[in-house]
Structure formats: structure tokens, C-alpha cells
Structure 1
Amino acid sequence: MKTLKKNLKLNLGTIEALMKIPRAEFSKSTFHKLRVEIKKLNAIFNLINFCSKDFKRKETFHPFKEVFKKAGKVRELQLERAILDKYLSNNSFLDYRRIINNKLLKAQDSFFELLGKELDKRIAGKIEVLIPFIDQVNKKKAAAFIEKKKDEIEILLNKNPLTTDELHKLRKLLKTLKYSIGCISSDTRTANESEILKFTDSLGKWHDYHQALIQFEKSYDLEEIEPVEAAEISAVKLNISNKRDLLLQQILKDKSEFKFPQESDSGNI
């Protein structure tokens, strides 16, 4: 399976290159990029696991899952700090901002400590380990896997209304579908990928607004803060809530019009 093998090598190479970037040069976008590449790898592993009953997916993916979780904690705190900076004045909630900054530093320390524990040796040679299983992936099996993912998405697309958890699940399934089609496609951008991208972008923005509201609910006790700050939070929450609700209306419209990539759009394996 030349295309899958090529994309796997590219994916693993990118992950290794990102992990070797010095801490001083590791930006917010680097953490995001690393998590995206590991999500792509996870999609490949899911495909291989579907096609081979002998593939030890959990064991093989474990080192990458560790990195993903550690990077995710950093990313979560970066986003929380960004939410504070975006929606609240710079001179408000200084104590809480210090708490977030301290948590972020600890999460970064934990992440880079993991990278320093000879992690490169643990992920080295994965290509060689995976090749026998990649050879078990064929066009028929890959098509069956894609159809399975489409069926899971279709169930949610036909459900109305969708709960918050179901919207999260739909977002993840669409990304999995996008990455799965990408890993078996010889094209850099498959036909109709824009449909998936548009939908996942809308769901991603909705998720950001939803998370912002959760952070405000979780992080602040309105009875213990100054009235000015309480009023500021209330106004911000109302603004975000309105944006989230408007976006949800657009998502429901997009959901009714969504079209899957056709079989011929998936490229050659």
C-alpha cells in the first residue's frame, strides 16, 4: 500500500521533527501542530486495526498517546489564558491569572520532561513494525472502514436535536473521517474535503465558545469578586453565549446540507 506507507512515513517524520524542537522555540502553534499530527497517526492506526486482527494498536500507540495528553494539558491552559486575555481587561482577576500561569509552567515542565526520557528511542523503528500490518490494508478493507465511519456520522446527522456531548462526538468523528481519507489518498486535498473542513471549523468555533463559557462558570465565584468584575464577566458571558447560539443555528443548517466525499474522491491506496 504505497500511498498509506508514504503518508505514514511523512506523518511520523513530522512528529519526530516537532518533538526535537528546542523548548525555547516551542510555540503555541507547535503544540497544536503536534497534536494534529498525532491525531492523523491515530486515524492511520485505527484503519490498520480495522484491517488486521493481529495489530496491537493500544501498545503501539501508547508513546504517542502520552505525548498527546501532555501536550493537550499545555494546550488547554494556553487556551484558557487566551480566553482571559481576549475577553477580560488586563487588570482584572490578577490572582487567577497567576494561578493559570503557574499551572501552565508546570504542564510545560511535565511535557518536556517526557520528551527528555528517551522518547525518541521508544518511537524509533515504528515504520518497520507497522509495515507488515500496512500490507494487510487493501482498497476493499479501507473502503469498508470509511463506510463504517460515515455510518457513525450519519446516525448523528439524522438526530435532532443534538446534545452537547453528541456535538463533540460529531466533531471528532468528522475529523477522524477527514484524516482517514487523507491517509489513503494520493492527493494533497481530496475532492469535497472542503465540506468536511467547513463543518469541522464551525464545530470547532462552537466548541471554543462552549469551553469559554465553561471556564467562566468553573473559574469564578461571582459572590466573592468585586461588583465591577462580576458585571464584566456577566457581559462577556452573554456576548459569548449569543455567538455560540448563532453558530449553533449555522451548524444545524450545515448539518442538513452536509454531503460526504464520494467513493471516487478518496484517491488511490
Structure 2
Amino acid sequence: MKKKKAMKQLNKLWKGMKLHLKTFLETNSQDDLHQFRVHIKKLKALLTLYASEQENKGLLHEFKPVKTVFKAAGEIRNAYINLQLGEKHQLQDENFDQHQQQILQQGTARFKSQGKSYLKRLKKAHIALQNNLHKLQGKTIRNFYKEKLNRIAVFFAAPTFDEEMHTARKNSKLLIYNQKASAGALHGKLQVNTNYLNQLQDKIGQWHDHLLTMEVLSAMNQPDNQAIINLKNSNAALELEILEQSANFREKVTAPEDAAIKIVPETVV
């Protein structure tokens, strides 16, 4: 991948990220806050791919200021998700609602007060990334995909519902988010079923959201609280779905005609 194409991909995602941030600062839209964070995740995934090339090793360091803004936005988003899940599972706890609403409102006010500073920080990071971005070889992209697929496959050979499950989701999203950027390098060399990966990571994401909300509820309620019981039952069902979807991972993540990861010998980079 030439530097010009890599720069175009970076700038397109960056433009979308800034747009959603500016809209959130004006409207408090939770959807825009969510999309702002999604764009940051996509940017990080793209830069992680670029950084697999030796010349691009410093890119993730230049991206660190953006992660600070991402974390601040995450505190607001988590409170919103907690309120949504509490409502879905019929939590009737005024203290919980008030606490999460307070986090949501105060976090939003604090975030918006730093809006101009965040935008300046993003602009500075963008310039630094543009100045340090180099081309990415096709062979590097293919090796990146092979390594991540192998890590995920090894995990799902004996999956555990802990932080490693969340790590498997992160690795899956690295491949999903970089699908378009990597299409040319992967074509005819390595077949990846990103639709399957996306379905699987979505279930894991739901499981993880439930887990985080249960932790908050457990700290504020009795263990037999009906909302916690509902969340536990919902999460148990999600775990069964994840186990079913992740069974025979290597076969499912590749094209139907080949149960193993289809790798064509390297020729031209």
C-alpha cells in the first residue's frame, strides 16, 4: 500500500471522527458520542496495522493524545449503557439511576468544557501522524492477518469467559475494521470471513457490556436483586451463543470451500 493511499484512509476516518465529536459537543447526542468512539477504534485499528511495518512503529505513540479523549468519552458512554441495561432488565433502584445520571450529566458537562482543548489535541496528533506515516507492504498486511487469526483460533480452541475473551474480540475487530484497507493485499492470498467475525464479536460485546453493568449493580445492591438475576440469566444465554458460534472457529472464519486458513505462497509484494 502506497503512502498516498494510506494517507487517504487515515484522513477519511479522521474527518468522520472530528465531525461526530463536534456534533456531540453541540447536541449531546449519544449516537454521535458512540460514533466518535467507534471512529477512534477504527483509527487505532488502522494505525495498529500500519505500525506492523517497521517504518511506522512510532504511529501508536503519536496517537496517545487521542486515547485520552476516548477514555473521557467512555465514562459518559458507560453510564448511558448502564442506564439502558438497567431499564431493559427492570431495575428499580433510585440510587443506581441517580448515580448513573449524575455521572452522565457531570461527565458530559466536563467533557464539553474541554471541547476546544480536545479539538486542538486531535489536530496536533493528526499532523504528527501525517508526518510519520509511510507505505505498507502487502506481505506485512498478510502476516498481520495470519498472526491475529492464529491468536483468535488458539483462544477459541479452549475459550474462557474472562479478559481474554475481550482480547479475542479486540483482535477480531482489528481484522474487521481493516477489511477495506487490506482487501488488495489479501485478495487471492488469504480468505477471511469478516461477516462471521462481526457476528461473533458483537455477541462478545453484548456479554462484556452486561458484565460491566453487573459489576456496578453488585456494588450497590443485594446479590438477589432481580435486575442482577436478569442480567446473569441474559449473560448465561449469551455465553452459550458465543460458545456455539466460536466452535470450529478456523473453519468458519474462512471461505466455505476450505476449512483451514487458505494461504497462497508469497510471490510479489
TM normalised by structure 1 equals 0.80
Contact 2:34 2:77 (8 Å CA) reproduced = yes
Q: Report matched runs for 1:72-91 at 5 Å.
A: 72-88=74-90
Aligned position for 1:227: none
Deviation of 1:255 after TM superposition, in Å, equals 0.9
Aligned position for 1:156: 155
Q: Indicate which of 7, 10, 14 corresponds to 1:8.
A: 10
Aligned position for 1:17: 19
Contact 1:18 1:34 (8 Å CA) reproduced = yes
Aligned position for 2:202: 201
Contact 1:49 1:57 (8 Å CA) reproduced = yes
SS in 1 for 2:253: coil
1:190-241 deviation digits (Å, cap 9, x = unpaired): 972211111111112222332332232122246xxxxxxx6xx23x333322
Aligned position for 1:181: 179
Structure 1 pair 198–111 and aligned structure 2 pair: CA distance change class (3 A): same
Question: Structure 2: how far apart are the matches of 1:203 and 1:22?
Answer: 27
Structure 1 pair 263–66 and aligned structure 2 pair: CA distance change class (3 A): farther
SS in 1 for 2:160: coil
Letter in 2 for 1:124: K
Aligned-residue CA RMSD (Å): 2.7
Question: Structure 2: how far apart are the matches of 1:263 and 1:3?
Answer: 25
Contact 2:159 2:165 (8 Å CA) reproduced = no
Comparing 42-51 and 200-209, the one that deviates more = 200-209
Letter in 2 for 1:93: D
Aligned position for 1:144: 143
Contact 2:169 2:205 (8 Å CA) reproduced = yes
Contact 2:48 2:60 (8 Å CA) reproduced = no
Contact 1:3 1:184 (8 Å CA) reproduced = no
TM normalised by structure 2 equals 0.80
Aligned position for 1:210: 211
Which protein has greater RCO, CA pairs closer than 8 Å, 6+ apart?
A: 1
SS in 1 for 2:105: helix
Aligned position for 2:166: 168
User: Within the alignment, does 1:243 sit opposite 2:245 as a pair?
Assistant: no
Aligned position for 2:253: 260
SS in 2 for 1:23: helix
**Structure 2, unaligned stretches of length 5 or more?**
185-190, 255-261
SS in 1 for 2:247: helix
Question: Structure 1: how far apart are the matches of 2:183 and 2:7?
Answer: 11
**Structure 1, unaligned stretches of length 5 or more?**
223-229
Question: Structure 2: how far apart are the matches of 1:196 and 1:209?
Answer: 20
Aligned position for 1:44: 46
Aligned position for 2:94: 94
